[in-house]
Amino acid sequence: MTVLKLGGSVIFEDNRIASERVLEIVQVISDHSSTINGIVVGGGDLARQYIRVGKNRGLNSDELDWMGINATHSNAKFVNQLLDEEYEFLSELADVNRGDDIITGGTKPGHTTDAVSVMLAEKVGSDNVYSLSDIDGIYDTRDCSLEDADRIDSATVGDVKKIIRDQSDSPGRSIPIDRVAVDRIANTGITFTMFDGTSSENLENVLKGVSVGTTINP
Ligand code: UTP
């Protein structure tokens, strides 16, 4: 069984919903729903736009995080309605049990949906999280746009901590994976595979067991 993290960056493109891509991903999820027992949806451009306006208005960090969380919930409900078999939407994980089929977004300020996806995997009893975003994995330098940057197929929690150590934790953050999620991977033994989810073919492959992107091992 597996948990999917559907990053907001695959739902939106150029500030609009990437409708064709969303429908393709929804179809793959519907086809494989018997092996997917959790889906966590990110906030993407919707979250970042809310947060930008809130910041200009002087809202504090917690308030801005709640704006991001609201965006994740809206996106999660949107995806859920498109699926053949609906998952139960929850806005927190307290009542989740092993074996439940859950869809959610953010839960509380201070982390991102990366962390929520590992927490949900722990609760429903999945050994791994497959995370779809617009980046194809983790690179061996902090700036993946550098010409000599190489994608790593497999990384340890220690490797990842070094790569993300200077990155911001502010609301609407854009980082490969958040610190809370990395600590959670270390503590739970759940593996986290990040790959380019802008191609639904990659999702098909990952679900078939083909190695794609970067897998973070505890
Ligand atoms: P995410 O950063 O999880 O959305 O939430 P995302 O679109 O998946 O991001 P990508 O695709 O990985 O880039 C957006 C914002 O919502 C708040 C944070 O401010 C976060 O940056 N948030 C989200 C929380 O405070 N708590 C949560 O549990 C989730």
Q: Which residue has the higher pLDDT, 77 or 85?
A: 77
Nearest to 112 by CA among 200, 9, 216: 9
Distance 65 CA to ligand 1 centre (A): 8
Distance 13 CA to ligand 1 centre (A): 16
**Nearest ligand 1 atom to alpha carbon 115:** 28
Distance 165 CA to ligand 1 centre (A): 18
Q: Does ligand 1 come within 6 angstroms of the Cβ of 72?
A: yes
Q: Which residue has the higher pLDDT, 218 or 77?
A: 77
- With a threshold of 0.85, does the pTM exceed it? yes
pLDDT at 142: 59
pLDDT in tens, 2-17: 999 999 999 999 999 9
Q: How confident is the model at residue 114 (pLDDT cuts 50, 70, 90)?
A: very high
pLDDT in tens, 162-182: 888 877 778 877 788 999 999
- What is the rounded average pLDDT for all residues in the chain? 94
Distance 160 CA to ligand 1 centre (A): 19
pLDDT at 173: 78
Atom 24 in ligand 1: which residue has the minimum CA distance?
Answer: 109
83-94 burial string, b = 16+ CB within 10 Å, else e?
beeebebbeebe
Q: Does ligand 1 come within 6 angstroms of the Cβ of 173?
A: yes
Amino acid at 143: D
Q: Does ligand 1 come within 6 angstroms of the Cβ of 172?
A: yes
**Nearest ligand 1 atom to alpha carbon 68:** 16
Atom 27 in ligand 1: which residue has the minimum CA distance?
Answer: 106
Distance 106 CA to ligand 1 centre (A): 7
Asked if residue 94 has pLDDT above 80, the reply is: yes
Distance 48 CA to ligand 1 centre (A): 9
Backbone angles phi, psi at 57, to 5 degrees: -85, -5
Share of the chain above pLDDT 90, in %: 84
Asked if residue 101 has pLDDT above 60, the reply is: yes
pLDDT at 150: 84
Q: Does ligand 1 come within 6 angstroms of the Cβ of 91?
A: no
Q: How confident is the model at residue 140 (pLDDT cuts 50, 70, 90)?
A: confident
pLDDT in tens, 57-74: 999 999 999 999 999 999
pLDDT at 196: 97
**Nearest ligand 1 atom to alpha carbon 51:** 19
Asked if residue 85 has pLDDT above 90, the reply is: no
- Per DSSP, which regions of the chain are E strands? 2-6, 12-13, 16-17, 36-41, 88-89, 102-104, 128-133, 138-139, 151-152, 154-156, 191-196, 214-217
| Residues 114-121, mean pLDDT to the nearest whole number | 98
Asked if residue 122 has pLDDT above 90, the reply is: yes
